[in-house]
Amino acid sequence: MAEQKSQEAGAELGYEEARAELIEVVRALEAGGTTLEESLALWERGERLAAVCQQWLDGARRRLDAAIDQGDEN
């Protein structure tokens, strides 16, 4: 279920976009001044954005590993 949510959130976001929005979410949470409900919504959005970023990083790692493996075979 969490993976599905992160895929939905990431369908429209690239890594840089998700990271930039995540930074803004963290800043908003650190600044305070929000209601509990707003803070929870920000936290949930941040979790989804973090998952999107992690998916991009995992995909990049797989591509690098595949390229390294291909280079070792030659």
**Is residue 8 included in any domain, yes or no?**
no
The pLDDT score that the predictor gives to residue 23 is 98
**Is residue 3 included in any domain, yes or no?**
no
**Is residue 6 included in any domain, yes or no?**
no
CATH number, domain with residue 56:
1.10.287
**Is residue 45 included in any domain, yes or no?**
yes
- Domain extent, residue 55, equals 13-73
1: DSSP letter: -
**Is residue 5 included in any domain, yes or no?**
no
The pLDDT score that the predictor gives to residue 10 is 53
Q: Which amino acid is at 56?
A: W
**Is the pLDDT at 45 greater than 90, yes or no?**
yes
What is the value of pTM for the model shown?
A: 0.77
| Tally of domains within the chain | 1
What value does the mean pLDDT of the chain take? 89
3-state secondary structure of 20: helix
